[in-house]
RNA sequence: GGCGAGAUAGCUCAGGUGGUUAGAGCGCAGCAUUCAUAAUGCUGAGGUCGUGAGUUCGAGCCUCACUCUCGCUACCA
C-alpha cells in the first residue's frame, strides 16, 4: 500500500509457557521493532501490537504437572517475556494478554458475530470423555500406548518417544491423564470454520493477488496449503481453560486457541486505544490502514489463510497488507531447540551482556533469515562487534569527536566554503538515507542494516581523504569545515541507527548533546548549529575478547550435554500382565521370501513371509533402515494373529517384531541359529 | 511419495521485468596513513553462479530432468 494514513503492526503473540530465545526475536519481534521505530521517526501514525497468547492445552497440562493454576503459569511467563522485550528495546505500544477480560469479551463477540451470520458448520462427533472428571479430554490429556513404537506414555496428539503425530482414537488402551480411568467415547457438538468454502469463494484469489508483493516463501507456503485443499477447522473444543463459547448449552466448551489468539491483536489494540484516547476501529476497519503481521514461518498458514478468513467472514475488517514472515534462525550450525536446550535465551543474554543489547540487535538484524534459514554464531557476534561496530562506527564517531575536542574545544566549528568533494560526500549521505528508506519499506532489513553502516564508512572515508590533522597547522578554516561536515554525519548517524541500535543512538545523542531528531534531517548539512557544544568523547562500543565468546559456546554445549544425558533413559517397564494375556499372542519364526518398497512412501516395505503355516504379506515401517535385497532369506519373528489391516491399499497380515533403541535404530528379532519355519516363540 | 523454499567467492549473504568485465561485508595479500579502541582508507587475489539438457542473438535469472539441504504432509500391525 502506498502512503497509508496509518499503520497497524503486529508481532506474533508469544505462547506464555516458556521463555524467549534469539530465534523468536530474529523471526518476528526485532524486524517489527525496526520497522516501527522507522515509522515513528517519520512521525507516522502507527500502533505496534503484541501480547501473550495464554490459552490452549499445553499451558493447562503444564499447570497440572506443576500443581498450580494455568493462570499462575501464564502470569509468570507474561512478566518474563514482557521484561525480555523491554530489555531488548523492543517497544510495543502495548503488550497485552489473552487472559484479560477485554480479550475474552472481544473474542466472544467475534465468535458470536460469525455464529449469528451462520458462517460456521455445526458437527457432532465422538470424543473421549472422562466420566469421573465429568469432562471431554483434549488430545493431550489422553495417554496410551503408541501404535508405532509401543511407548506406553504417548499423548493423544503425539508420541514423544518416536515423534509420530497421532489422533486419540489411534492410541492403544487410552487412559485419561486426569483421573487415570479408561475414557468413554461420547458425542459432542462443535463449530467449524468452512475454510474449504472460503478457498473457493475468494481466499485463493486473494492470495494470488499477492504473488508479487509478498515474499516468495510466504506466497509459496500458502499455495502449498491451498493445493492440498483447506478443510473445515474446528473453532471450539471441550476444555475449561480459554474463552467460553458464548452460546447457551455449551458449558465446558471454549474457543480453540488458534481462533482466539489472533483476535488478541484486536483486543490489544482496543486496550491501547482506550488508554490513549484513540479510536481502535480506525486501525482495523479503515481501508487506509496498512496492516502488517510479523511472524516466523511456522505461523504463515494462520496469518495468511486462517486469520484473514476469520476477518473476512466477520465482514467489517481489513485484511493484511503484508506478512513478511522470516525463515528460521539456527545456532552454531544446529537448529534451535527448546527440548534439546540448544538456544540463547533472551533473559540470560540480558543478564550476562547488559551493555551489549545493541550488539545482539545488530548481529541478528545482519543475519535475519529473510530468504532462507540462517545461522547465528557467537564468533560472528564477536566479529560484527569488533570489526564493524567498534572499528567502523564507534571509531568514526570517536575520531570526529576527539578531533573537535582537540581543535575546537568541543564546539561545532563553522562551515565555510564546501569543496566539490564535500558536496559529493553530502550527496552520498543523502543517498544513504533514501536507500535506507527503500530497504526498510520493502522489509529488507539485512540490507538496511548494511546501508546504515555505510554512513559510518562514509565518515571514515571522508576523514581519511581530507586529513584534517595534517591541515591544522596551515589551513584552520578548511579544518573547521571538514569537522563541521564530519559532525553533521555523526548526527545523521544518530538518526538512522535508531531503528537498529536504539541504545547506541541514545548514547550518541548524549555525546552530541542533542535530543531525538526527525528522520528527514538525516543526510542534511545543518543538523548541528555552529557553536553547539558537544560532550566529552566516549567510546560507543567495547571490544569482545575471544574467551568471552568461547565461554558462551562452551556453555551451550554443556547445557546440551546435560539435557542429552537426562533424555537417554531407557523406557520404563510396562505394567504386569497375566500369562493368559501374553499367551494370546501367537509369535512365530518366519522367513522373508520377498521384499520390496511400497511405492510413494518413505518408510513402508512390503514383505512376503513364509510363516511355516502359510505364506502371507506383511507391511512394515522399516524401509528407511533396510534394503530389500539385504533382508531376503532372513528369519524373523512375526506376530501372526494380529487383526489384518490395510495399509496404503495393501492387506498386512501380521507384524514383524523389531527391537528399537533410544535413537530409533531397528534390529530384527531373529533366532540365534537357523530353525524351523513356524517355530513358536514363547 | 506429494507440496513449498533453498543451493552464487574461504565464510555469511545480495543479485526488480534475461543483455556487455556476476556484487557486498567479513577473512586473506599488498600499499597509504596516524586524528582514532593496531582502529581507518585504497588496491588486489578468489566464483565452470548444485548437475545435465533446452528456449534465446544472449541465462545466475526462463523451461525440463536430476542431486543435496530445510520445512509441511501421507504411510509406520
Instruction: Express each pLDDT in A263-289 by its tens digit.
Output: 999 999 999 999 999 999 999 999 999
User: Which residue gives the smallest C-alpha to C1' distance to B12?
Assistant: A367
A454 Cβ nearer than 7 Å to chain B strand: no
Whether A219 is in a domain gets the answer yes
**CATH code, domain with A634:** 2.40.50.140
Provide the strand spans (E) within A450-489: none
User: Which residue gives the smallest C-alpha to C1' distance to B39?
Assistant: A391
Which nucleotide, over all strands, has the C1' atom closest to the CA of A654?
A: B77
Place of cell 506474533: A12
A620 Cβ nearer than 7 Å to chain B strand: yes
Cell of A293: 503481521
Whether A138 is in a domain gets the answer no
Whether A614 is in a domain gets the answer yes
Give the pLDDT score at A203. Answer: 92
Cell of A599: 511405492
Cell of A456: 559510518
Between CA A387 and C1' B27 the distance (Å) reads 11
Read off φ and ψ for residue A44, nearest 5 degrees: -80, 160
Report the C-alpha gap between A659 and A588 in whole angstroms.
Answer: 16
- pLDDT tens sequence across A112-157: 999 999 999 998 877 777 777 666 776 666 777 766 556 566 666 6
With a CB cutoff of 8 Å and minimum separation 6, the contacts of A70 are: A54, A59, A60, A63, A241
Distance of CA A176 to the CA centre of its chain: 31
Report the C-alpha gap between A406 and A317 in whole angstroms.
Answer: 60
Cell of A137: 479430554
Which nucleotide, over all strands, has the C1' atom closest to the CA of A398?
A: B36
Report the C-alpha gap between A509 and A490 in whole angstroms.
Answer: 9
Report the C-alpha gap between A402 and A40 in whole angstroms.
Answer: 32
Total domains in chain A come to 3
Pick the closest to residue A87 from A358, A331, A314 (CA basis): A358
Strand B contacts in A 547-576 (CB under 7 A): none
Report the C-alpha gap between A674 and A590 in whole angstroms.
Answer: 11
A472 Cβ nearer than 7 Å to chain B strand: no
Between CA A230 and C1' B70 the distance (Å) reads 24
Q: Which domain holds residue A657?
A: 579-668
Report, as an integer, the average pLDDT of A511-517. Answer: 96
Same domain, A387 and A309: no
A98 Cβ nearer than 7 Å to chain B strand: no
Give the pLDDT score at A623. Answer: 76
A438 Cβ nearer than 7 Å to chain B strand: no
pLDDT more than 70, % of chain A: 92
pLDDT at A567 over 70: no
User: What's the Cα-to-Cα distance from A59 to each of A77, A235, A258, A494, A555, rounded to whole Å?
Assistant: 11, 18, 14, 43, 29
Whether A514 is in a domain gets the answer yes
Cell of A25: 526475536
Between CA A104 and C1' B63 the distance (Å) reads 53
Same domain, A313 and A392: no
Same domain, A397 and A472: yes
Same domain, A384 and A517: yes
A172 Cβ nearer than 7 Å to chain B strand: yes
Pick the closest to residue A14 from A72, A68, A74, A62 (CA basis): A74
Between CA A322 and C1' B19 the distance (Å) reads 33
Q: Which of A521, A539, A554 finishes a domain? A: A521
Whether A86 is in a domain gets the answer yes
Same domain, A308 and A413: no
A646 Cβ nearer than 7 Å to chain B strand: no
**CATH code, domain with A452:** 1.10.730.10
User: Which residue gives the smallest C-alpha to C1' distance to B77?
Assistant: A655
Between CA A603 and C1' B67 the distance (Å) reads 21
Give the pLDDT score at A467. Answer: 95
Between CA A225 and C1' B69 the distance (Å) reads 22
Between CA A438 and C1' B20 the distance (Å) reads 28
Considering only A384-388, A439-443, A539-543, A643-647, which range has the smallest mean pLDDT? A643-647
Report the C-alpha gap between A531 and A538 in whole angstroms.
Answer: 20
Same domain, A299 and A385: no
A650 Cβ nearer than 7 Å to chain B strand: no
Gyration radius of chain A's alpha carbons: 31
User: Which residue gives the smallest C-alpha to C1' distance to B5?
Assistant: A217
Read off φ and ψ for residue A628, nearest 5 degrees: -55, -45
A220 Cβ nearer than 7 Å to chain B strand: yes
A644 Cβ nearer than 7 Å to chain B strand: yes
Question: Best-predicted range by mean pLDDT among A191-200, A275-284, A339-348?
Answer: A275-284
- Nucleotides of chain B in contact with protein CB (under 7 A) are 1-7, 12-15, 24-27, 32-37, 39-42, 70-77
Report, as an integer, the average pLDDT of A630-658. Answer: 82
Considering only A60-74, A162-176, A257-271, A509-523, which range has the smallest mean pLDDT? A162-176
Euclidean distance between the first and the last CA atom of chain A, given in angstroms as a whole number: 72
Give the pLDDT score at A237. Answer: 87
pLDDT at A46 over 90: yes
Strand B contacts in A 474-533 (CB under 7 A): none
Between CA A592 and C1' B49 the distance (Å) reads 49
A337 Cβ nearer than 7 Å to chain B strand: no
Long-range Cβ contacts of A197-203 (<8 Å, 24+ apart): A198/A230, A198/A309, A198/A312, A198/A313, A199/A226, A199/A229, A199/A230, A202/A312, A203/A230, A203/A305, A203/A308, A203/A309, A203/A312
Burial of A24 (0-12, 13-18, 19+ CB in 10 A): buried
Same domain, A210 and A81: yes
Between CA A447 and C1' B14 the distance (Å) reads 8
Same domain, A417 and A486: yes
DSSP symbols for A504-562: HHHHHHHHHT-----GGGTT-S-SSPTTPBP-----S-----HHHHHHHHHHHHHHHHH
Cell of A329: 534462525
DSSP 8-class letter at A304: I
Place of cell 514383505: A607
Strand B contacts in A 271-310 (CB under 7 A): 297-298
Whether A320 is in a domain gets the answer yes
Which nucleotide, over all strands, has the C1' atom closest to the CA of A470?
A: B35
Pick the closest to residue A378 from A397, A401, A404, A352 (CA basis): A352
Place of cell 559532525: A487
Strand B contacts in A 6-35 (CB under 7 A): none
Place of cell 479510536: A279
A648 Cβ nearer than 7 Å to chain B strand: yes
Same domain, A304 and A386: no
Long-range Cβ contacts of A536-539 (<8 Å, 24+ apart): A536/A405, A536/A410, A537/A398, A537/A401, A537/A402, A537/A405, A537/A511, A538/A507, A538/A511, A539/A390, A539/A394, A539/A398
Pick the closest to residue A55 from A82, A32, A78, A81 (CA basis): A78
**CATH code, domain with A63:** 3.40.50.620
Which nucleotide, over all strands, has the C1' atom closest to the CA of A658?
A: B77
A74 Cβ nearer than 7 Å to chain B strand: no
A262 Cβ nearer than 7 Å to chain B strand: no
Above 0.95 for ipTM, yes or no?
no
Pick the closest to residue A510 from A474, A540, A471 (CA basis): A540
Report the C-alpha gap between A399 and A238 in whole angstroms.
Answer: 66
Same domain, A319 and A440: no
Whether A154 is in a domain gets the answer no
Report the C-alpha gap between A340 and A421 in whole angstroms.
Answer: 56
Same domain, A63 and A211: yes
Question: Best-predicted range by mean pLDDT among A52-66, A467-481, A550-564?
Answer: A467-481
Pick the closest to residue A508 from A349, A422, A396 (CA basis): A396
Give the pLDDT score at A512. Answer: 97
Whether A647 is in a domain gets the answer yes
Same domain, A390 and A322: no
Between CA A453 and C1' B24 the distance (Å) reads 12
* Average pLDDT of chain A to the nearest whole number: 88
pLDDT at A92 over 90: yes
A83 Cβ nearer than 7 Å to chain B strand: no
Place of cell 548533546: A513
Amino acid at each position: 500500500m502506498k502512503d497509508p494514513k496509518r499503520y497497524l503492526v503486529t508481532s506474533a503473540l508469544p505462547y506464555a509457557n516458556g521463555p524467549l530465545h534469539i530465534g523468536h526475536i530474529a523471526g518476528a519481534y526485532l524486524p517489527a521493532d525496526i520497522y516501527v521505530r522507522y515509522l515513528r521517526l517519520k512521525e507516522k501514525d502507527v500502533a505496534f501490537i503484541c501480547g501473550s497468547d495464554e490459552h490452549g492445552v499445553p499451558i493447562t497440562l503444564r499447570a497440572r504437572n506443576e500443581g498450580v493454576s494455568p493462570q499462575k503459569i501464564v502470569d509468570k511467563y507474561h512478566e518474563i517475556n514482557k521484561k525480555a522485550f523491554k530489555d531488548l528495546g523492543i517497544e510495543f505500544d502495548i503488550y497485552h494478554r489473552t487472559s484479560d477480560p477485554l480479550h475474552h469479551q472481544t473474542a466472544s463477540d467475534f465468535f458470536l458475530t460469525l455464529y449469528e451470520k451462520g458462517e460456521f458448520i455445526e458437527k457432532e462427533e465422538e470424543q473421549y470423555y472422562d466420566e469421573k472428571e465429568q469432562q471431554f479430554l483434549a488430545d493431550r490429556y489422553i495417554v496410551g500406548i503408541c501404535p508405532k513404537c509401543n511407548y506406553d506414555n504417548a499423548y493423544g496428539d503425539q508420541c514423544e518417544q518416536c515423534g509420530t503425530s497421532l489422533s486419540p482414537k489411534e492410541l492403544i488402551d487410552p487412559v485419561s491423564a486426569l483421573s487415570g480411568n479408561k475414557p468413554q467415547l461420547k458425542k459432542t457438538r462443535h463449530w467449524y470454520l468452512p475454510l474449504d468454502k472460503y478457498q473457493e469463494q475468494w481466499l485463493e484469489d486473494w492470495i494470488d493477488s499477492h504473488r508479487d508483493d509478498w515474499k516468495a516463501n510466504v506466497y509459496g507456503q500458502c499455495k502449498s496449503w491451498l493445493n492440498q485443499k483447506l478443510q473445515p477447522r474446528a473453532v471450539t473444543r471441550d476444555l475449561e481453560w480459554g474463552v467460553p463459547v458464548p452460546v447457551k448449552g455449551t458449558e465446558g466448551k471454549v474457543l480453540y486457541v488458534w481462533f482466539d489468539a489472533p483476535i488478541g491483536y484486536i483486543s490489544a489494540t482496543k486496550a491501547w486505544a482506550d488508554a490513549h484516547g484513540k479510536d481502535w476501529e480506525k486501525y482495523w476497519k479503515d481501508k487506509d490502514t496498512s496492516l502488517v503481521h510479523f511472524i516466523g514461518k511456522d505461523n504463515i498458514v494462520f496469518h495468511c489463510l486462517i486469520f484473514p478468513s476469520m476477518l473476512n467472514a466477520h465482514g467489517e475488517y481489513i485484511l493484511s497488507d503484508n506478512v513478511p514472515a522470516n525463515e528460521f534462525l539456527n545456532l552454531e550450525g544446529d537448529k534451535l531447540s527448546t527440548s534439546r536446550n540448544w538456544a540463547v535465551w533472551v533473559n540470560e543474554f540480558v543478564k550476562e551482556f547488559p551493555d551489549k543489547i545493541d550488539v545482539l540487535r545488530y548481529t541478528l538484524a545482519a543475519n535475519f533469515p529473510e530468504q532462507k534459514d540462517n545461522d547465528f554464531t557467537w564468533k560472528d557476534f564477536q566479529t560484527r562487534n569488533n570489526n564493524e561496530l567498534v572499528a567502523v562506527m564507534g571509531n568514526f564517531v570517536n575520531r570526529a569527536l576527539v578531533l573537535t575536542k582537540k581543535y575546537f574545544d568541543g564546539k561545532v566549528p563553522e562551515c565555510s566554503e564546501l569543496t566539490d568533494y564535500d558536496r559529493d560526500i553530502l550527496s552520498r549521505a543523502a543517498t544513504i538515507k533514501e536507500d535506507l528508506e527503500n530497504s526498510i519499506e520493502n522489509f529488507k532489513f539485512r540490507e538496511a542494516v548494511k546501508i546504515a553502516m555505510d554512513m559510518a564508512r562514509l565518515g571514515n572515508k571522508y576523514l581519511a581523504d581530507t586529513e584534517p590533522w595534517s591541515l591544522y597547522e596551515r589551513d584552520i578554516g578548511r579544518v573547521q569545515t571538514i569537522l563541521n561536515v564530519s559532525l553533521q554525519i555523526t548526527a545523521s548517524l544518530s538518526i538512522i541507527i535508531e531503528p537498529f541500535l536504539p541504545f547506541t543512538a541514545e548514547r550518541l545523542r548524549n555525546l552530541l548533546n542533542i535530543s531525538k531528531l526527525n528522520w528527514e534531517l538525516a543526510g542534511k548539512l545543518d543538523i548541528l548549529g555552529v557553536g553547539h557544544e558537544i560532550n566529552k568523547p566516549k567510546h560507543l562500543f567495547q571490544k569482545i575478547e575471544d574467551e568471552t565468546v568461547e565461554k558462551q559456546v562452551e556453555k551451550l554445549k554443556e547445557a546440551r550435554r546435560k539435557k542429552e544425558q537426562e533424555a537417554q533413559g531407557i523406557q520404563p517397564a510396562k505394567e504386569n500382565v497375566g500369562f493368559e494375556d501374553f499367551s494370546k499372542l501367537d509369535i512365530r519364526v518366519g522367513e522373508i521370501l520377498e521384499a520390496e518398497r511400497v511405492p510413494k512412501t518413505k518408510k513402508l516395505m512390503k514383505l512376503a513371509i513364509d510363516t511355516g503355516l502359510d505364506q502371507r504379506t506383511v507391511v512394515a515401517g522399516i524401509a528407511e533402515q533396510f534394503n530389500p535385497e539385504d533382508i531376503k532369506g532372513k528369519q524373523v519373528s512375526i506376530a501372526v494373529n494380529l487383526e489384518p489391516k490395510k495399509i496404503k491399499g495393501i492387506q498386512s497380515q501380521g507384524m514383524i517384531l523389531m527391537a528399537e533403541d533410544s535413537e530409533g535404530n531397528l534390529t530384527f528379532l531373529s533366532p540365534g541359529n537357523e530353525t524351523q519355519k513356524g517355530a513358536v516363540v514363547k
